[in-house]
Structure 1
Amino acid sequence: MKLNFFWLLCIVAYLPIQSQNTVKGTITDIDTHEVLAFANIYFPSLEKGGITNENGEFTIYDLPNGKLKIIVSIIGYETYDGVIELPSNEYIKIALFPSAIEMEEIVLSTPFHKLQRDNVMKVEQKKISDLKSNGAVTLSDGINNISGVETVSTGIGIGKPVIRGLSSNRVLVYAQGVRLENQQFGDEHGLGLNDAGVESIEVIKGPASLLYGSDALGGVLYINPERFANENTRSGDINFNYFSNTQGYNTNAGYKTSTDNFKFIFRGSITEHADYKTKDYRVTNSRFKEQDFKSALGYQASNFSTEFRYNLNTSQLGIPEEIGVQNTSTNPLLPNQNIQNHIFSSKSKLFLENSSFELNLGYVYNNRKEFEEHHHHEDEEEHEEGEEGHEEDEVLEAALHMKLKTFNYDLKYSLPELGRFETIIGLQGMSQTNTNYGEEQLIPNATTNDIGLLATSHIHFEEMDLQIGARFDNRKINVENSFNKDFSSFNGAFGIKKDFSDSFTTRVNLASGFRAPNLAELTSDGSHEGTNRYEVGNSNLDNEQNFQLDVAVEYNSQHIELFVNGFYNKVNNYIFLSPDGTFIADDPVYLYLQNDAKLYGGEIGLHFHPHPLDKLHIENTFETVTGKLQDGSYLPLIPANKITNTIRMEFEKNWVKKGYTFVKLLTYLKQDNISDFETATPSYYLLNAGIGGELKVFNNTLQVSISGNNLTNRTYTNHLSRLKPDGIYNMGRNLSFALSYLL
């Protein structure tokens, strides 16, 4: 089937050019009627666009017949979205409304690719540049700035997302348009992704099994790669970041170019960090190194587009256990991880008259090695005095060596619009093999196969939108020399967005989701590295099945934005670990059990930018989540309630453009709603600040930013830190310096 579809796409690529169209137009200010230069024009379904010239004019060539959504955006104006129908000889004139609100972007993680204001489902979206301007050290560190999202961390090099209290296999990560599979069930396994070459991050908070299948029970972290250059343009950039706390750096350089039909991107990145420092000590072996390479090749004709992307991420990560040697070496000591993550992806689109096919294919190859202390043949004193811990890994055999190979596919057909209905049907699937090569075994050799069928519709009314959908999934797990398991689930979703006025909008979504047990939960039988417990799996576990209600209320006026998001999440057959009171080799034995659970909470936010000080932004948010089992006991790894207060000022001078400065106060409240094997975490606050802007250097743009996190050098431990049981603090004061030179 895949081969036949490929040839069909190739044939369509050479169809007669009679369906090619050209669109011309002008963008102006609706009040002053002045033309707007350098406004962005974008067709999201085609992933194609351009910019206006000095006269506010634009021309986009080689467009297919049919109805096309057009997006126009520029800083300082409200983002415009509309629909044009081709062929047409009409000259387009679009007038934009001035606005102090940040311009909106297309939401790509949902199937209909709309602006957030038109989306029935609430989706959080952040540009990676905004996260980095806040001093984020890594990608997983940066997502903490997204409302409702936190990170389970092991130092600064290893982190995994937590969405409203759910994490690990309950949160699905998408990169380059394909699901990322890299042993994410493990507490000490990080994202395996670098922020270089990432455009933005989107977060679906709540069950997204309708769109993505198993493992999206708690939500989705959708990472958008950088876009190709506009037609017949080229650009390059060099970026450097320095972090005072770890005496670390990351640097990357990229180049992209596009012709009428072909597009190309190349980007390379190197990162090194020493052990991070608290007020009193450095956290031994929290050091890490990372190398990242990304490339992309695209081809686009009027009726057909395709792109191929490849990402290689190699990292050497120390696993901190106790405070010991104090130095600033970046070579990881034992124990450590050596991980290679390869992501191959392709995305192809075929445009018919008012309908389209989209096929996404992905292959993810995760090669994980872990080296442990007892495999080192020299004594501990020699190990600590030497700085060659990482180099010696080359002659050691990995205690744990796993290769996870995953092929996934996603085929969707967007039907022609029928009255008020936009409808998409789809077929998704995954084939995965896990193979062990080390002397230890965390999970056994096994194969997993998924297949899912879905249908969803967006129904438009004058002041209301509905979205409905249904999906069926089947997962088969074959454990070598052991057992076979078969899991199936039927899920649905219903959402409504109602505009009571131009300023007041409500969204109500009800969705079900599911998660099949992972291999660790089904098959574990041994001590888990870094957790100091002996875990015993349960092959009789059933699907987790959840039902979540989300309510979002938003008020947006010229100077005030207010939102209130609430959720209630009922999870049947929730899988959790519980001690049975026995010990094996001095480690307490923990069993995987199931019971019903519930999570509830939400986020409240206020954004105020007063007139006439439209460049002044005062933002305040509050986040809360509570998780309990049916017996009333609390779930583990539930983030503490958090208050964020930010004052941000934007400015423009003759010598600096897009200037900004901010002060942020983060307050984490006491977390004493804890599980049986957790301890309470006291409240604490963190003070952050920063300044940045754009300068002209040799006729090119130099972006400069300076930020400081934990400026008071407070000693604290985050409730989601895996180093908390050992009494090890999180990072102390850190100053970040960032330069980005656009060629």
Structure 2
Amino acid sequence: MKSYLKLLFLTAFISVNAQNSISGKITDTNNNALIGVEIHAQEIHKGTITNNDGFYKLKNIPNGKIKLTFTYLGYKTVSKNVDLNDNNLEINLQLVETFYEIDEIIVSTPFNKLQSENVMKVERLSANKLQKLGATTLSEGIVNIAGVSQISTGNSIGKPVIRGLSGNRVLVYTQGIRLENQQFGGEHGLGINDAGIGSVEVIKGAASLLYGSDALGGVLYLNPEKFASSNKTKVNINQRYFNNTLGTNTSVGVKSSLENWKFLARGTYANHADYKIPTDKRVTNTRFNEKDFKSGIAYSKNKFTSELRYNYNKSNLGLTEGIDLQSTSNDLLEPFQTIDNHIISSHNHFFFGDSKLDIDLGYTFNDRQEFEEHEEHDDHDEDEDEDDHDHADEDHDEEHEEAALRMKLKTFTYNAKYHFPKIGSLEILSGIQGLHQTNTNFGEEILIPNATVNDFGIFTTANYTWNNNTLQAGIRFDNRKIDTERHEVAHDDEIHVFEAVNKSYNSFTTSLGFKTSLSDQITTRINVASGFRAPNLAELSSNGVHHGTNRFEKGNSNLVNEKNVQLDLSLEYKTEHFEVFANGFYNHLNNYIFITPTDEIEDGEQVFTYIQENAKLYGGEFGFHLHPHPQDWLHLESTFETVIGKQKNGDYLPLIPANTWRNTFRTEFNYKDWLTQGYTSITLESTFSQENVSSFETQTSNYNLLNFALGGDVSIRNVKFTGSLSVNNLLNKKYINHLSRLKNDGIFNQGRNVVLGINVHI
């Protein structure tokens, strides 16, 4: 890594100075200057805002073609492709008012277009919206995206579910690289704090063409916060209080940018007690705490730009065994998990006039420890002296700190993409992706064996635009090689044998998408894509009690690739004051892998094993957004989402979310000169009963939740204060979500939660 960094910066320093610049003035349709318009070039990490006269200037821009976006709240986003060749450009724009959401560049798709230009329908949730939701964790916040749910264990552990698919079928990207943190487990959460996340993008459907194995069900793409605009320094302090868990979340960030260098850093600490259910009981040992540190540095000069980011996250998560001892303490009880996660990413762009090369490198290190309950032993002699007692206490503490299960996962990823020179309206890129991964055990127990995984993929995709139509297609080949070690583990006078597995999995995937504008108001998209997922280590080789799930799990080394073909249809109708959308999908899966109970008992737990069966999932999301004239400050939003999952034999698939209908009444306002971007909202979330369950699941009843939020900005000189108040489950309703892992014990989800937040921008 050190050698690579030296090469990186050496290349930057020897680059020839560029004198390219882009400047201009931004006005509205009445030629009034617009102050604070954001001008951003995603590829080179450069941005600025317009001054009090509406003027802006970007300096030291490399030769070649780059994309600029001009965004301003309440106005239509403009995207422009500019071609620079040792010259200075002047771009003056008039922005048109609109009441649509800001149209942002979508980073998770190959050609980085605006959402309105994209062939694939990608959902996006900004950091500002995440803050307004009052969610305790990032996983809890993203369930407000239609078609996205979470498998939860209390408040601290949540796994994303996209249209009924979860686990290793949903690939998570953060800092532009894939997140690998033993995500196969049902009680393994994201391990990413929402502080320092700029936005979340969700691809709902097979995305193996772009990302390879594990993107069969979709992609959750977490964009880090942007660097400061050139020659700006910003400080941000965020504090939130959660009354249900008596929790706090404190985050402090600073970022500063020169013309060529940019820097940012953010530290966050969160601490929560056990969560309270509507009966005023607390669910014992759902407490957790989290430390998170994010930093980044970027450099751009002439034909080269580079960005280096680092994220360290340490989470201590209680593993509940039900409602027992009532306490508001933050000290974890056994059993609990301690998880250290290090993520290093390097993103580099080389400009060659009309073409471009992107090279992304990543390294993640995940250290997962699980601590079990220890029996008390009182075997000291009564006549031991004080020193002996002290030594005994120290020995007991050391025993307490010895993890029963400990796994270290190290993953190196690489991704290189070459953007060929554009031929008219045809864009083509080709690339390679891969990873090298090792899993090593250190605890006395083994859940999955020591293993090495190697991935390699090669792909090409093209995008062609004519009139109001866009066609996108691609093809890809992947290979995944898995090698595990043989282990013999003694447990309760029995020997559990982990047989060695040596497997190689190959797959071809393709995609074809078409977008057309039938009129100025109607846009439709149709996408067909295939995907695949190689079996993971747990599915192939588990052989022991998984304490997080309270079952004995046995792997199946004969499992083959999961493969799917998904058809997506999307229709959008937008006028100045009304929007409606309908998304439908059909997903056919061959060799779907799932775990099922058997009649065997081992180590006092029921044995579960992995089997395969063809399956299908189908459903969609439907909704509208009304902001009537002349009451443009008034918004009524409604979304309905549904998914059905069945095996070929007619049985239902497990872990399929219940149908949900959300209705939000929202207002936006400014009060005189001191309160800006004010908002209030009230949401009725109706979840239907889930009766379509697998053979070993229980049904869940319907329920309605009422949520409330308000907030706004107050500026005092150069300091902006953003205040927020949200109340989730306002009526303290008793309910059990179908994807809660505590439902089998009849434990309710969280009761009323009042969240107060203050965000200070200096």
Q: Is TM > 0.5 for Structure 1 vs Structure 2?
A: yes
**Any residues of structure 2 matched to 1:378-527 within 5 Å, and which?**
395-481=400-486, 482-527=500-545
- Contact 1:278–1:715 under 8 Å retained in 2: yes
1:458–1:468 contact (8 Å) kept in structure 2:
yes
Question: Which of 5, 14, 34 is 2:32 aligned to?
Answer: 34
Quick one: structure 1 residues 9 and 741, their matched pair in 2 at CA, closer, same or farther if it must change by over 3 Å? closer
Residues 1:555 and 2:573 aligned together: yes
Q: Deviations over 1:223-264 (max 9, x none)?
A: 000111111111001110000101101000000001121111
Q: 1:509 to 1:371 in 2, by over 3 A?
A: same
Cα RMSD (Å): 1.8
1:270-309 mapped onto 2 (5 Å cutoff): 270-280=269-279, 281-309=281-309
In 2, Cα distance between equivalents of 1:163 and 1:107: 18
Cα shift at 1:394: 7.5
Match 1:729 to one of 737, 741, 748:
748
Residue identity matched to 1:343: I
| Pairwise CA distance, 1:28 | 1.0
Per-residue deviation at 1:3?
7.5
Instruction: Within 5 Å, give how 1:87-486 maps onto structure 2.
Output: 87=85, 88-280=87-279, 281-374=281-374, 377=377, 395-481=400-486, 482-486=500-504
Counterpart position of 2:390: none
Cα distance per residue 1:10-50 (max 9 Å; x no partner): 44652323x531111111112x1211111011122223121
* Letter matched to residue 403 of structure 1: K
* Equivalent position of 1:384 in the other structure: none
Closer, same or farther in 2 for the Cα pair 1:463/1:590, shift >3 Å?
Answer: same
Partner of 1:647: 665
Secondary structure of the residue aligned to 1:643 is strand
In the other structure, the counterpart of 1:43 is 41
Q: Distance in 2 between matches of 1:2 and 1:420?
A: 41
Q: Within 2, Cα distance between the matches of 1:276 and 1:115?
A: 40
Following the alignment from structure 1 to structure 2, what is the Cα–Cα distance between the partners of residues 93 and 49? Answer: 16
Q: In 1, Cα distance between the equivalents of 2:675 and 2:472?
A: 45
| Distance 1:416-1:289 versus aligned 2 partners, 3 A rule | same
- Corresponding letter in the other structure for 1:306: S
- Match 1:616 to one of 634, 637, 646: 634
Structure 1 equivalent of residue 759 of structure 2: 740
1:86 alignment partner in structure 2:
84
CA distance in 1, matches of 2:218, 2:734: 32
State the match for 1:575 in structure 2. 593
CA distance in 2, matches of 1:178, 1:375: 42
8 Å Cα contact 2:187-2:549 kept in structure 1: no
Cα distance in 2 for residues equivalent to 1:692 and 1:313: 29
1:77 maps to 2:61? no
Give SS of 1:652's match. strand
Distance 2:81 2:203 in 1: 26
Residue of structure 2 in register with 1:682 after alignment: 701
* Displacement of 1:583: 2.0
Quote the offset at 1:374 in angstroms.
3.8
Query: Is 2:732 the partner of 1:713?
Result: yes
Look up the SS of the partner of 1:366 in the other structure: strand
Counterpart pick for 1:659 among 667, 678, 681: 678
Report the CA distance between 1:9 and its aligned residue.
8.0
The CA distance in 2 between the partners of 1:15 and 1:250, in whole Å, is: 43
SS at match of 1:63: coil
Extract unaligned runs of 5+ from structure 2: 380-392, 487-499
Check conservation: 2:501, 2:541, Cα contact below 8 A: no
Structure 1: 5+ residue stretches without partners: 380-387
Give the distance between the partners of 1:373 and 1:59, measured in 2 at CA. 62
Cross-structure match for 2:65: 67
Question: 2: distance between equivalents of 1:377 and 1:299?
Answer: 59
**574, 581, 591: which one aligns with 2:609:** 591
The one-letter amino acid of 1:155's match is: G
Alpha-carbon distance in structure 2 between the residues aligned to 1:740 and 1:585: 51
Q: Secondary structure at the match of 2:131?
A: helix
CA distance in 2, matches of 1:562, 1:637: 29
Task: Provide the residue aligned with 2:494 in structure 1.
Answer: none
Structure 2 counterpart of 1:293, which letter?
F
Match in the other structure for 1:702: 721
Q: Tell me the CA shift for residue 8 of structure 1.
A: 8.2
Q: CA deviation at 1:738?
A: 0.3
Letter of the aligned partner of 1:73 in structure 2?
T
Deviation string, structure 1 residues 496-517 (Cα, Å, up to 9, x no partner): 0011111100000000000000
Deviation at 1:7, TM superposition (A): 4.5
Is the Cα contact below 8 Å between 2:348 and 2:360 reproduced in 1?
Answer: yes
Secondary structure of the structure 1 residue equivalent to 2:60? strand
CA change 1:419–1:689 in 2 (3 A) is same
Q: 2: distance between equivalents of 1:710 and 1:605? A: 22
Distance 2:515 2:727 in 1: 40
Match of 1:630 in 2: 648
- Cα distance in 2 for residues equivalent to 1:403 and 1:530: 18
Contact 2:374 2:400 in 1 (8 A): no
Instruction: Quote the offset at 1:377 in angstroms.
Output: 5.0
Bigger shift: 190-199 or 64-73? 64-73
Deviation (angstroms), 1:2: 12
Partner Cα distance (2:378, 2:202) in 1: 47
Specify the code of the residue in structure 2 equivalent to 1:608: L
SS at match of 1:131: helix
Q: Is the 8 Å Cα contact of residues 45 and 113 (structure 1) preserved in structure 2? A: no
Kept after mapping to 2: 8 A contact 1:9/1:350: no
Question: Amino acid of the residue matched to residue 276 of structure 2?
Answer: K
Contact 2:21 2:89 in 1 (8 A): no
Cα distance in 1 for partners of 2:688, 2:510 equals: 36
- The separation in 1 between residues aligned to 2:451 and 2:603, in whole angstroms, is 27
Relative to structure 1, is the Cα distance of residues 494 and 6 closer, same or farther in structure 2, using a 3 angstrom cutoff? Answer: farther
Q: How many residues align?
A: 731
Instruction: Give a deviation string over 1:399-433, Cα, whole Å, max 9, x none.
Output: 10110000001111111101221111111110000
* CA distance, structure 2, for counterparts of residue 9 and residue 527 of structure 1: 49
Task: Indicate the SS of the match to 2:43.
Answer: coil
Residues in 1 aligned to 2:398 and 2:676: alpha-carbon distance in whole angstroms: 48
Among the aligned pairs, what percent are the same residue? 52
Corresponding residue of 2:489:
none
The one-letter amino acid of 1:495's match is: G
Question: Which residue is 2:51 aligned to?
Answer: 53
Verify the 8 A CA contact 1:29 1:95 in the aligned structure 2: yes
TM-score, with structure 1 as normaliser: 0.96
- Distance, in Å, in 2 between the alignment partners of 1:279 and 1:12 is 58
| Contact 1:9 1:304 survives alignment (8 Å) | no
**Over residues 516-566 of structure 1, what are the superposed CA-to-partner deviations in whole Å (9 max), with x where a residue is unaligned?**
000000001112213232221110100000000000000111001111000
Give the deviation of 1:199 after TM superposition: 0.3
What residue in structure 1 maps to residue 619 of structure 2? 601
The 8 Å contact of residues 586 and 618 in structure 2, kept in 1 or not, is answered as: yes
Deviation of the 1:86 alpha carbon? 1.8
